[in-house]
Structure 1
């Protein structure tokens, strides 16, 4: 079973929150909110999208490449763990 299917409810909830954040940006633009506030809203959306992307990439690595918590090859496990850490750092 794919990790996106197993985590469907959680991922869908995140997407719905993102949709709500984008609707807040739209409302802010329509009501002519000051640009600084709109920039903050957009930054929040960006952070949420990056968080979703990070979660999807990490799960993909663990399910389809190598799970560092389960791989018996210490070098592969360490490489996968390092890759996951890099992805998390990059998407912060």
Structure 2
């Protein structure tokens, strides 16, 4: 969960963008649009959701691991890099 007002607003903005993508996708399906644009929109939505998840996970891991004694910034960056690679 984002804790700063700026992070919360950024997350809300991204969620609203994802909602807009979902609504556009729904309209395209209802209109009987071709498969290729629908698949492209689905891929864009997936990327947006994964991006939001990565940002939230990044904040959570940083808050959780930084509080641990002996946590190194390098280990934290390596862990986050690995997690981001799995979200792609």
Cα deviation for residue 72 of structure 1 reads: 8.1
Question: Structure 1 stretch 76-85 or stretch 52-61: which is displaced more?
Answer: 76-85
Q: TM-score, structure 1 length as denominator?
A: 0.82
Deviations 1:26-67 (A, max 9, x none): 011011001111111000000000000000000001112227
Q: 2:2 maps to which residue?
A: 4
Q: TM-score, structure 2 length as denominator?
A: 0.86
User: Does 1:64 find its partner at 2:64?
Assistant: yes
- What's the C-alpha RMSD, in Å, of the aligned pairs? 2.0
- How many residues in Structure 1 have an aligned counterpart in Structure 2? 86
Question: Structure 1 stretch 76-85 or stretch 27-36: which is displaced more?
Answer: 76-85
Structure with bigger RCO (C-alpha 8 Å, 6+ apart): 2
Q: Distance in 1 between matches of 2:33 and 2:61?
A: 41
5+ residue gaps, structure 1, are none
Q: 1:33 maps to which residue?
A: 33
Q: 2:79 maps to which residue?
A: 83
